[in-house]
């Protein structure tokens, strides 16, 4: 036993958030692998226009939460809506960036081939790729600083470049809410700040960004809202209220020593 006590801590106050049109609204969601619930009773309402961090220890169910919200994993119970609609009706407003390591980068494709996949919903099965489609790909690539890599084999990219390509693919979707799974895992510092800049620009365009994150030291600078999770909700709200020693101890249990808390200024 890990010794973590999963304290029930429901009924957070959701100031300033009424109505059903939150970019992402999850109610009572439980996801399980076999008999074992991976996450349970998740209630989460993402504030429009926020950069929203999902934080928790390894195995807390952060990625599971995102995948279930995107319909990649089946949910046992609960309701998920985007802008008040089920995913099926809101697909064009939602872009998902999977974990970089979830695919085989030896696949025979170029950077361009991958980014244009983001346009497949509008291209359909057989519509020809037009000049404006190509322009959208080029524009997305330049936003992530990869404009010179369009014809590069994806197998030759570094981890950071792979992550930028995935981000560019989501940008061409021109969505209103972006869900990113560990975008900063194993990338270089230049990529991390480049990605953060893109996300901040999206926020300036009134987009909403949800990021699964694991690095405690950058939480307060990156996010304005935070969701702490360890299989179930630990705390959620503005980052200043949630990112406290008490909540982190609840989420991480004994895994978080006092020295670690000291280095992040808590």
Partner 1 sequence: MMASEFVALSLTPVLIAAFAGMACALPGNFLVLRKQALIGDAISHVMLPGIVVAYLISGRVTTWPMMFGAAGAAIVSVFLIEIIRRLGRIEFGAAMGVVFTAMFAAGVLLLEQSETSEVHLDVEHALFGNLEMLIWLQSDGWGSLLDLNALAQMPPQFFRMLTVFLLICLFTYIFWRPLVLISFDEAYARTIGTQAPLIGLLLVIFAAITAVAAFDAVGSIIVIAMILCPPASARLLTNNVRTQVFLSLGLALSATLAGYILASYAPLWLGFSDTVSAAGMISTLSGVFLAFSAVYGRHRKRIV
Q: Give me the residues that bind partner 1 (CB under 8 A), please.
A: 33-34, 67, 70-72, 91, 94-96, 98, 102-104, 106-110, 113-114, 117-118, 120-121, 123, 125-126, 153, 155, 169, 173
Burial classification of residue 214, based on how many CB atoms lie within 10 Å of its CB (0-12 exposed, 13-18 middle, 19 or more buried): middle
Q: To 5 degrees, how large is the angle CA 17–CA 5–CA 99?
A: 60
8 Å CB contact between 87 and 260 = no
Rounded least distance, CB 153 to partner 1, Å: 5
Q: How far is CA 96 from its chain centroid?
A: 7
Q: Which is nearer to partner 1, 96 or 222 (CB)?
A: 96
Question: Of the two residues 73 and 264, which places its CB atom closer to partner 1 in the complex?
Answer: 73
Query: In this complex, which beta carbon is closest to partner 1, that of residue 102 or of residue 193?
Result: 102
User: What backbone phi and psi angles, to 5 degrees, belong to 234?
Assistant: -100, -50
Query: What is each CA distance from 173 to 53, 94, 170, 176, in whole angstroms?
Result: 22, 8, 5, 9
Q: How far is the CB of 34 from partner 1 (least distance, A)?
A: 6
Nearer to partner 1, 76 or 197 (CB): 76
Residue 3 to residue 13: CA distance in whole angstroms: 28
Nearest-approach distance from CB 74 to partner 1, in angstroms? 10
CB of 10 vs partner 1, minimal distance in Å? 29
- Taking Cα atoms as reference points, which of 95, 87, 86, 30 lies closest to residue 61? 30
Identity of the residue, 157 or 226, whose beta carbon is nearer to partner 1 in the bound complex: 157
CB of 31 to partner 1, least distance (A): 14
């Amino acid at each position: 036993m890990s010794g973590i006590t999963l304290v029930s801590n429901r009924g957070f106050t959701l100031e300033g958030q009424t109505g059903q049109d939150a970019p992402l609204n999850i109610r009572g969601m439980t996801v399980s692998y076999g008999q074992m619930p991976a996450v349970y009773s998740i209630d989460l309402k993402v504030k429009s226009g926020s950069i929203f961090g999902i934080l928790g220890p390894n195995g807390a169910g952060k990625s599971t939460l995102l995948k279930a919200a995107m319909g990649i994993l089946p949910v046992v119970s609960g309701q998920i809506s985007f802008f008040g609609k089920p995913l099926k009706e809101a697909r064009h407003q939602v872009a998902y960036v999977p974990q970089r390591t979830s695919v085989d980068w030896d696949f025979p494709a170029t950077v361009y081939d991958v980014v244009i996949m983001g346009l497949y919903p509008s291209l359909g099965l057989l519509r020809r790729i037009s000049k404006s489609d190509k322009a959208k790909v080029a524009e997305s690539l330049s936003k992530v600083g990869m404009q010179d890599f369009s014809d590069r084999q994806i197998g030759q990219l570094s981890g950071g470049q792979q992550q930028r390509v995935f981000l560019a693919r989501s940008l061409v979707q021109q969505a209103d809410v972006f869900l990113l799974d560990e975008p900063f895992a194993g990338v270089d510092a230049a990529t991390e700040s480049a990605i953060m800049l893109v996300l901040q620009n999206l926020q300036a365009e009134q987009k909403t960004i949800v990021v699964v994150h694991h690095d405690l030291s950058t939480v307060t600078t990156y996010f304005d809202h935070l969701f702490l999770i360890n299989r179930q909700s630990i705390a959620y709200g503005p980052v200043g209220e949630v990112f406290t020693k008490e909540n982190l101890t609840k989420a991480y249990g004994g895994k978080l020593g006092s020295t670690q808390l000291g280095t992040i200024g808590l």
